[in-house]
Structure 1
Amino acid sequence: MSAPPTSTLLIIDDEPQIRRLLRVTLEGGGYRVRETDTATLGLQEIAHQTPDGVILDLGLPDLDGTEVIRRLRDWSRVPVLVLSVREGEDDKIAALDAGADDYLTKPFNGRELLARVRAILRRTQLTNEPAIARIGDIEIDRAARTIRRANAEIHLTAKEYALFALLVQHRGKVVTHRQILREVWGPNAEENTHYLRVVMTHLRQKLEATPNSPQHLKTESGIGYRLVE
């Protein structure tokens, strides 16, 4: 069974021999193939070329593959099949929890690889958001994880970035205190609203022209926050 001719898969793997084998197997199955050898280039490729699916190695030279999946899931639902030599249950669970759609260990059988690719493409509806989003004069590049305001790059802490990216993902909707704390700080922090107030204050100071009367980062009293464009 061949893939439609428009289906494009991106291979992110630092081993040239594996990339060569994958290309032969996938092109034999009817797919178009692109490839990169680092996480950084892979994320850029996904952002700008929007492949239909990704085959990802976990042992990349610049960033662990599990972290690549986490960053990718900030802004994309592109299907990801992990292909790794790591056979441990913990590695598989971590990758799947981060947002991978399937996990296959090396060495692999070509027919099984093609079957798994077909499966993730069938069951995953692509709802990719653009990697770059603009809210007023604020620009967030979720592939590069950078923020600019009026064309000047703004440094955010990890928590400030995670909070802003979450609000961008749900822009126009109220995101509750509990949801924010769970997703940014973890499930044991749902009652620690003072953490959130402090980070929101700093975020407004960096991104709003008038932090005391914010135009974009709105408070929904007693409920949460809403990002308004």
Structure 2
Amino acid sequence: MILYPAIDLKDGQCVRLLKGDMDKATVFGDDPAAQAMLFQDAGAEWLHLVDLNGAFAGHPVNGAAVEAILERVSIPVQLGGGIRDMGGIEAWLDKGLSRVILGTVAVEDPDLVRAAAKAFPDKVAVGLDARAGKVATRGWAEETDLDVIDLAKKFEDAGIAAIIYTDIDRDGAMGGPNVAATEALARAVDVPVIASGGVSSMDDLTRLRDTGVIAGAISGRALYDGAIDLGEALAALRA
């Protein structure tokens, strides 16, 4: 199972939100590229970036910070937030992103997801963010009546690289991930599923890994707070 350190970008800074609330942001640093290097130096195999402003605006906002990270690190980087058209997808991949994450458009324009996955094999992931099992879009500000598993199954044959499942009510709350819901999703689809939201301890990582079906886990606040030591976690997961 791959551990993805998260760098959430708001106004050019590294932050973590509480349950997706932009008004409840904790700033952890004003040099995202330096933070990315710390994660890489600790042994991270991937980085997970989110343009929080972009998710709300519907277009990239923290592009300069993302580009600075791409210039500094050599490990693969995935990015979500505000990427909602083919031009944006292609532009980010041309700049060195290894994977783009499409969330809102997975609901609003699923044909775009399919077209992008076909045009850029293994470069497109779908981000499914949910409250109580129902998908939310546009920076989690708008809720739908779509069931996560039902929506995920619609992309099984699209050729996407992964599904990133976030339980919004767990995100940034340090209360542990929704292992049961993530495992249920992973067992329901033939696409790698990455867990996000609430991963706050080695025990959380172990429980996710021990399902045997979850491909990865994203953690942010716990790494910044020191609740998870990245080097130790990576070593344990490799073992």
The question of a shared fold, defined as TM-score above 0.5 by the shorter chain, is answered with no
What's the TM-score, normalizing by structure 2?
0.32
Larger Rg: 1
Q: More strand per residue: 1 or 2?
A: 2
What's the TM-score, normalizing by structure 1?
0.33
